[in-house]
């Protein structure tokens, strides 16, 4: 199967057929939090994109001193450098587009590699508050990316980079034990329901093997 990503429209297609993204699949969880695309939301999206770009350059070997980092983003980059120093990850995938051949969705995996010799997935967040909807959306994102990989990572993490220069690490199992225990639907079933919802509401053509 051939996966294509259109950066301008931020859309994915698999063998010429448009498919939903991981971001789109988890968006219903964050809908109450982000009710509109107002100036604050657009600014947050721009900030997240720029921080991801700088972090990618750092992981690809670009010296930090060579980056023209905007002052308002400096704290986030400091936080990422602290994370790298503390956990010393060895990445084999950086901003890698991936897809699920049976679920027919795709996304760009932030990081895959090893921490302490154990395979892991890491998703980078710049949101100011990792409240319960944000943590649940992160959990589903991590699970969806995990399903795209043939290998089974030992750990699934989200790292929240803070403007202050600090960071906080979130692990999938911790999120599930804290935030998902009261949900009436099993986590794997809910994941599939979110994929189905994206197809229904996004006007995508249903696919079968």
Position 209 in a domain: no
- For the segment 93-120, what is each residue's pLDDT rounded down to a tens digit? 999 999 998 889 999 999 999 999 999 9
Position 161 in a domain: yes
Spans of the chain, pLDDT less than 50? 209
pTM recorded for the entire structure: 0.91
Position 192 in a domain: yes
Strand locations in 7-133 (E): 11-14, 17-19, 90-100, 105-115, 118-125
Task: Compute the distance between CA of residue 190 and CA of residue 183 in angstroms, rounded to an integer.
Answer: 10
pLDDT for residue 44: 82
Our count of domains for the chain comes to: 1
Position 13 in a domain: yes
Position 208 in a domain: no
Give the DSSP letter of residue 116. T
Position 52 in a domain: yes
Dihedral angle, C-alpha 186, 119, 124, 28, nearest 10 °: -20
Position 17 in a domain: yes
Per the CB < 8 A criterion, the answer to whether 93 and 59 are in contact is no
Position 207 in a domain: no
Task: Compute the distance between CA of residue 91 and CA of residue 171 in angstroms, rounded to an integer.
Answer: 18
- For the segment 72-82, what is each residue's pLDDT rounded down to a tens digit? 999 999 999 99
pLDDT for residue 209: 47
pLDDT for residue 116: 92
Domain that holds residue 143: 3-202
Per the CB < 8 A criterion, the answer to whether 14 and 110 are in contact is no
CATH number for the domain harbouring residue 59 = 3.90.320
Reference 100, options 51, 35, 156, 147; nearest CA is: 147
């Amino acid at each position: 199967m051939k996966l294509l990503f259109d950066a301008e429209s931020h859309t994915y297609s698999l063998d010429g057929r448009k498919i939903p993204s991981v971001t789109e699949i988890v968006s219903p969880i964050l809908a109450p939090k982000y009710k509109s695309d107002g100036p604050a939301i657009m600014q947050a999206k721009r900030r997240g994109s720029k921080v991801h770009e700088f972090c990618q350059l750092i992981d690809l070997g670009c010296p930090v001193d060579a980056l023209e980092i905007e002052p308002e983003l400096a704290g986030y980059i400091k936080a990422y450098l602290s994370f790298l120093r503390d956990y010393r990850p060895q990445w084999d995938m950086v901003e890698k587009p991936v897809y699920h051949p049976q679920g027919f969705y795709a996304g760009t995996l932030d990081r895959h590699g090893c921490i302490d010799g154990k395979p892991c997935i890491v998703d980078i967040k710049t949101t100011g508050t990792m409240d319960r909807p944000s943590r649940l959306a992160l959990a589903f994102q991590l699970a969806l990316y995990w399903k795209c990989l043939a290998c089974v990572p030992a750990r699934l993490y989200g790292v929240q980079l803070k403007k202050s220069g600090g960071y906080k690490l979130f692990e999938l199992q911790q999120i599930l034990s804290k935030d998902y225990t009261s949900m009436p639907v099993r986590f794997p079933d809910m994941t599939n329901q979110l994929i189905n919802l994206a197809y229904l509401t996004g006007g995508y053509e249903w696919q079968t093997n």
